[in-house]
Structure 1
Amino acid sequence: MVWIPFWSKIEEAKPSASASDVAAKCPVDHSKFTKKSQGPAKCPVDHDMLDPTTNMPYNLSATNKVPGQKLDLPTERTLSSIPRGDKESAGVWEYPSPQQMLNAIVRKGHIDTPEADVPAMVDVHNFLNEGAWSEILKWEKKYMDESGKAPRLLKFTGRPNEPSPRARMLQLMGSIYPSKYGGPPPFDRHDWTVLRYNMTGEKKEVRYVIDYYSGPSEDGFPTFFLDVRPAFDSFESVRDRAELWSKSVWEKALGQGGRQE
């Protein structure tokens, strides 16, 4: 888990078979009450209109104001340092503009968000994403050294209402040993799918889980903790996490302990 201070102030059933002519029949004519099937049930969300790499609408406006908006928010987008997609020609991921951020927030039902706070929220969003990618690069370093190629971020999804197994475990430990493990749950969770290259140039998709925690403020400024690790989806990920854990234990045994990052 890495500690990240943010040094910018934030104002913050199948149908039954027909009965036999000989068999006894129910006296009620069920055909009067049965509606003809209109085909399989459909999801109310038009997934063709969602970007599968972000789970957000393709047409999320970058310039249109939301109803009742009073302030003019910037519409310019900022480039990240995170490579996008599976080809170099795809460039890097772009962060949302403050106007896009407000549009997305209102779309999710948070209509009372102060408009003046949105630019600072975008700064925090971008800052945390850069921190998360920096941690992923630490996990990916040995594979980068082997292949000579940097990983790329294929897609991501937010799962704020689905606590990770580790977050649930830490909350349980906190209820038993509050002095050592007590603390608030993560305020957000993301799953990022990263494209990794091996030494033969083959590609592999690796899922990372990121838990976002709020830390104590320092001189009025917020701080954050990011818990970034590969998901237990493959033998490589299990091995990588075991290696990091054993390295931490060994360093502590030698008196070189410190905060695990």
Structure 2
Amino acid sequence: MLYAIGTKVRFRYTGESGVITALLDEGMMQVRLDSDPDLEIPAFEEDLVRNEDAEPISAGAKFIPAKRENAPEPPPRRKLNAQYHILKPKGLQLAFEPMPGRDGTVTRYKTWLINDTAQEFLLEFDLYTDARDVLIVDDKIPATAALELGDMLYDDLNNSLEASVNVQRITTEGPSEPVQKTLKIRPKQFFNNVQTVPILNLLAHHFLLFDSFEHKKEESGEDLKNYTKQKARSPKSASPASTRFGAFNVEEFAS
């Protein structure tokens, strides 16, 4: 289905209506909500249906897709601050929040970086599979905060999902030496790692990235090989279709 800027649409699962204001990358649209004209949110094309009841009928009208050259940037990432004091911080953590539809199934996860420490960091984050780049983020995360990284599709779990993370503590003397980690995310491990995550205070698939931020001066040959391989990796362009499944359902995923 093709959409153009100005097309009136409804959200498939919530029923909210709006109008498309921009065509984004990765098959996403930016939608201005009718219920709040000041709010524009990104949405996947598959989650939208044309709101034909709200569109005028014009005999002989021809639908022409809009050009995408001047599409605006997606909205800025959300940064949520902790509303309470964290007594025992764990470090930098990666969390995948299921985004269920009206029938309780999900096709994607909201990806978060959680920092429950009293330090802030510069961040280079790359989530990728053997088929495509899922997320590439260069940003800063404040102390005791959660940074929204973007959406990951369910099918990305089937394609050797990995995360590469490079962080630097921000100090009074400037950025510290970077520390780096590559995390292989396997489906069984993903579905077993479910817990209530700090700051967000919701159930999510959780991974601890760093509990210490001391720079290791001597790295093994394998670590250096992985780091060099990651830095030289060419971006992917293919984006697999998404499949729906029950949230936290290991058996359904394995079938």
Asked if Structure 1 and Structure 2 have the same fold, meaning a TM-score greater than 0.5 normalized by the shorter chain, the answer is no
Q: What TM-score, normalized by structure 1, do the two folds share?
A: 0.27
Q: Which structure is higher in RCO with an 8 Å CA cutoff and minimum separation 6?
A: 1
Q: TM-score, normalised by structure 2?
A: 0.27
More strand by share: 2
Question: Counting helix residues as a fraction of each chain, which structure ranks higher?
Answer: 1
